[in-house]
Amino acid sequence: MRLSRLVPLAAVSMLTIFASARADELPEGKGKALVRTACSQCHSVDLLLDQPRSRESWTDVVSQMVGNGAQLSDDDFNLVIEYLATNLGPANQSAPGHATATAPAGNSRN
């Protein structure tokens, strides 16, 4: 019985360690800690790193996440957009295979 409880715990621990290591791959910049904290509450940072977007697209996506319940003040919202657009925009993706993804239609935040 004890071993059966340890296996899932070990799997969760390994996923947490991997997600944390991947989060360290976020580029340095003002807003990195906020992005890591706010965005990784619901999904891994892989989603951010693997989908470069324009400022407009990041704004749409983050607006949609706020609509889905992400908690960001207006200042934090602007900081997240600035960080993502500056560091994870299409121009910042030099590795082959990175394609610019389009944001799903959503409400824009004004």
Q: Is residue 101 part of a domain?
A: no
Q: Is residue 110 part of a domain?
A: no
Q: Is the pTM of this model over 0.75?
A: no
- How many domains, the chain? 1
User: Which CATH number characterizes residue 80's domain?
Assistant: 1.10.760.10
For 1-22, how does the pLDDT look when each residue is reduced to its tens digit (9 = 90+)? 455 655 555 555 544 444 444 5
For 37-58, how does the pLDDT look when each residue is reduced to its tens digit (9 = 90+)? 999 889 999 999 998 999 999 9
For 72-105, how does the pLDDT look when each residue is reduced to its tens digit (9 = 90+)? 999 999 999 999 999 999 886 554 333 333 333 3
DSSP codes joined into one string, 2-57: HHHHHHHHHHHHHHHHHHHHHHTTSPPSTTHHHHHHHHTTTS-THHHHT----HHH
**What pLDDT is recorded for position 98?**
38
Q: Is residue 87 part of a domain?
A: yes
The domain in which residue 8 lies consists of 2-92
